[in-house]
Amino acid sequence: MATVNVPLAEELEKQIAQFAREQKRDPAEVLAEAVRRYLAVRKLECLAAKGEARARALDIRQEDIPGMVEEVRRENRERGR
């Protein structure tokens, strides 16, 4: 595992240390989890933005979606999925 030195505001460092103590965890573990979650959220946000752009390009509106979902479900049922 790589070691990364990141400058943190003193108050943030105190909050992380306090939380880690309360959770009986190492502060590095708490930070690693926070970074993993941050990256996962950013990945979802990027995916959502791409989906929204694609929907605009295809002129799909929010109110079109329930009907499209039902159509796909019906097609899947007919195929025996």
Residues 23-57 have pLDDT tens digits of 999 999 999 999 999 999 999 999 999 999 999 99
The pLDDT of residue 74: 95
Q: How far apart are CA 81 and CA 77, in angstroms?
A: 6
Return the domain boundaries, the chain. Answer: 10-79
Q: If pLDDT is split at 50, 70 and 90, which confidence band does 81 have?
A: low
* Per-residue 3-state assignment (H helix, E strand, C coil) for 2-19: CCCCCCCCHHHHHHHHHH
pLDDT of 43 reads 98
Ordered alpha helix ranges (H), 1-81: 10-23, 27-57, 65-79
> Do residues 38 and 30 make contact, with C-beta atoms less than 8 angstroms apart?
no
